[in-house]
Amino acid sequence: MKLTTYINLPGTCKEALQFYEEHLGAKIVFEMSYDQMPEPRHIPPGFKGDAVLHAAVSIGEALLQAADVPGAEPMRSAYLTLSVDSHEEAERIYTALTEGGQVFMKLEETFFAHCFAQFRDRFGINWMLVHAKPMPQRA
């Protein structure tokens, strides 16, 4: 079994995935527009044919799927979590992804992490960013 996250965006999918490519080292592995769907095409009102019908992007070892969906609302109770190996990497990602977004918890040290943050990026996607401290193993 494999669990994959799927996010819906209100017409900003292509821009978001390109942003994640630039700032997270993501790689778009598949992208299909509404124009590329077989006939008959059902392009949602208010969308152009180049809006994303379905896309997949790899971020590290994870696969994130996404689409432009009319009326899509930003995430509210779920977070995509990025685990990084250094404070410098955390700072770089935090700076990029919080620009134009909303910070819920600024990047700082916690009892469980060298640095940890919670925020929403400018596309409405919630993120947790963590550079974890070693934790005791369960017996």
pLDDT on residue 74: 78
**74-139 and 1-71 share a CATH fold:** yes
pLDDT on residue 67: 96
Tell me the pLDDT tens digit for each residue of 61-72.
999 999 999 999
- For the chain, the domains span 1-71, 74-139
pLDDT on residue 114: 97
Angle at which helix 87-98 crosses helix 13-24, to 10 degrees, equals: 160
- The fold for domain 74-139 equals 3.30.720
Print pLDDT tens along the chain (139 aa): 888 999 999 999 999 999 999 999 999 999 999 999 998 888 888 888 999 999 999 999 999 999 999 999 878 889 999 999 999 999 999 999 999 999 999 999 999 999 999 999 999 999 999 999 998 888 7
Reported pTM = 0.90
User: 1-71 has which CATH code?
Assistant: 3.30.720.100
pLDDT on residue 43: 87
